[in-house]
Amino acid sequence: MRLATAEINLSALSYNLKRIKELAPDARVMAVLKANAYGHGLVKIAQHLNDADVFAVARIDEALALRAGGLTKPIVLLEGFFNRTDLPILIANNFETIIHDENQLRAIETSQLDARLSVWLKIDTGMHRLGIEPQQFERFYQRLKACDNINPKMKLMTHFSCADDLNSTQTQHQITVFERLVADKPEARCLANSAGVLGWPGSHGDWIRPGLMMYGVSPMLNRVGAEHGLKPVMRLTTRVIAIKTIAAGEKVGYGGRWQSQQQTQLAVVAMGYGDGYPRNVRCGTPVVIREKRYGIVGTVSMDMITVDIGNNPDGIAVGDPVEMWGPALPVEEVAACAGTIPYELLCNVTTRVSYDYLTPTD
C-alpha cells in the first residue's frame, strides 16, 4: 500500500503560470525554483515551465542540477555568487547573477572571463537583507557599465519585505525609493515577488519573480490561492492504517497530551514529521477523509498521527486515502494551524514521500 505521496498536478502549474501572465500582462517572468521548487521537484517543475522567460534559484548547485536535468533557459542566481572561482561556472553554464555587494563587483572587474556576464543589480530599499544601499547605486551602476566583463544590458531589482500585508505602507515606500533612484536609467526593472504580483500592480515593472503563487498558494495574509484564481499544485496524501475505539477519559499519543471526553474512534494515519508534516500543529488541525474534515488529536509523531473520527458515521476504513493538504484543504490553513507559513510546509516535505507527477491534459 502506497503511503505518504505528494501528487504534483502539472496542469495546475501551467494554469497558474497563465494566471500570473493575466495579472501582469506586460512583464516577463522569472520563475523561482529554489529549494527544490518549493518542495515540488526542481527538474520536473522546470520542465513544465516552458512559458517562463528565465528560471531563478538561490544556490549554484540548484542551477547546476537544472542544467544536469537538460534545462537550457537562462538561470538567475538570486544571491549571486560567493567566490571568484564560481565565475567560470557561471559563464560556462549561462547563469546570470545578482550583484549585491562590493566584493562581487570587484571579483568580476578583476577576473579574466571568456564571455560577458549578465547581471541584475540589487538595491536594498528597505528589506535590509541583500542589496546595495541607495546611496551606492550611481557608483555601482557606472562601474558595471564600464566593466568589459559585464553584459551592458543589466537589470535593476529590489525585493519587498511586507508585500503580503496590504495594510502596510512599506511596499509603496520601497517602490517609491526604487523608482526615484532609477528614474533616469533605461534598464529593465524587477521588483515583484508573488505578493507584489497579487497585491501591488504598481510594482510589476518589466520583470516579475513569482515563486509561491506558481504552486497555487497564496503569500497574502489570511488568504488562500483559490481566492486569487490559483490552483494548488501539490496534494499531500496518505492512508488510514488502523482504526481503534477508545473509552472516555483515555489519553492518546506521546505525552498523553489529549484526553477523550467520551468513547470515540480514532483513525491512525501514516503521516508524521518524518514526512515533513509539522509536529507543532494545534489540536483539531483538519485532515480530509472521504471528503470530510476531521481533527488531529494527540501529538504528531515521526510516522503517524491520530485523528478523532467520532462514531465514524461515514464508515472510514483501513486503507482509506487521507488528504493532509491540497485542493480539499489549503496548505495555507494547515500552516496557520502550525503557526508558520505555507512556504515552510512545502519545502519541508521529506524524501520519504513518493512523488507522483500528474501530466497536463491541456
Judged by CB under 6 A, the number of residues near ligand PLP is: 12
Is 267 one of the binding residues for ligand PLP (CB under 6 A)? no
Question: In terms of CB distance, is 190 or 316 closer to ligand PLP?
Answer: 190
Site stretch for ligand PLP (CB under 6 A), options 10-18, 209-217, 246-254, 323-331: 209-217
Return the beta strands (E) in 247-303 as ranges. 251-252, 258-259, 264-269, 286-289, 292-297
Question: Which residue in the block uniquely carries the three cell numbers 516579475?
Answer: 208
Is 210 one of the binding residues for ligand PLP (CB under 6 A)? yes
- Candidate list 159, 204, 231, 239; residue touching ligand PLP; CB under 6 A: 159
| 311 DSSP assignment | T
How far lies 175's CA from each of 206, 238, 268, in Å? 14, 44, 50
Helix residue spans in 110-238 (DSSP H): 137-146, 170-182, 194-199
Cell reading at 164: 503580503
Contact 264, 333 (CB under 8 A): no
Instruction: Compute CA 17 distance to the chain's CA centroid, rounded to the nearest angstrom.
Output: 14
Catalytic residue among 18, 244, 251, 254: 254
Residue least distant from ligand PLP (Cβ): 211
> x/- binding map, residues 50-89, to ligand PLP, per CB under 6 A?
----------------------------x-----------
Q: How far is the CB of 234 from ligand PLP (least distance, A)?
A: 14
What residues are paired with 357 via a beta bridge?
A: 8
- Candidate list 212, 281, 287, 289; residue touching ligand PLP; CB under 6 A: 212
Contacts of 351 (CB under 8 A, 6+ apart): none
| 225 DSSP assignment | G
Is 99 one of the binding residues for ligand PLP (CB under 6 A)? no
Site stretch for ligand PLP (CB under 6 A), options 12-20, 206-214, 230-238, 284-292: 206-214
CB neighbour burial string for 159-196, b if at least 16 within 10 angstroms, e if fewer:
bbbbbbeeeeeebeebbebbbebbeeeebbbbbbbbbb
Site stretch for ligand PLP (CB under 6 A), options 168-176, 204-212, 257-265, 291-299: 204-212
Q: How far is the CB of 209 from ligand PLP (least distance, A)?
A: 4
Q: How far is the CB of 122 from ligand PLP (least distance, A)?
A: 8
Residue 85, phi then psi, degrees to nearest 5: -70, -10
34 is catalytic: yes
Is 211 one of the binding residues for ligand PLP (CB under 6 A)? yes
Is 189 one of the binding residues for ligand PLP (CB under 6 A)? no
- Candidate list 4, 12, 17, 32; residue touching ligand PLP; CB under 6 A: 32
Site stretch for ligand PLP (CB under 6 A), options 1-9, 10-18, 103-111, 191-199: 191-199
CA distance 310 to 239: 18
Helix residue spans in the chain (DSSP H): 10-23, 34-39, 42-47, 60-68, 87-93, 102-109, 137-146, 170-182, 194-199, 331-337, 342-347
Element (H, E) at 220: none
Is 194 one of the binding residues for ligand PLP (CB under 6 A)? yes
Site stretch for ligand PLP (CB under 6 A), options 40-48, 136-144, 188-196, 234-242: 188-196
21 is catalytic: no
Active site residues: 34, 254
| List of residues contacting ligand PLP (CB under 6 A) | 32, 34, 78, 159, 193-195, 209-212, 219
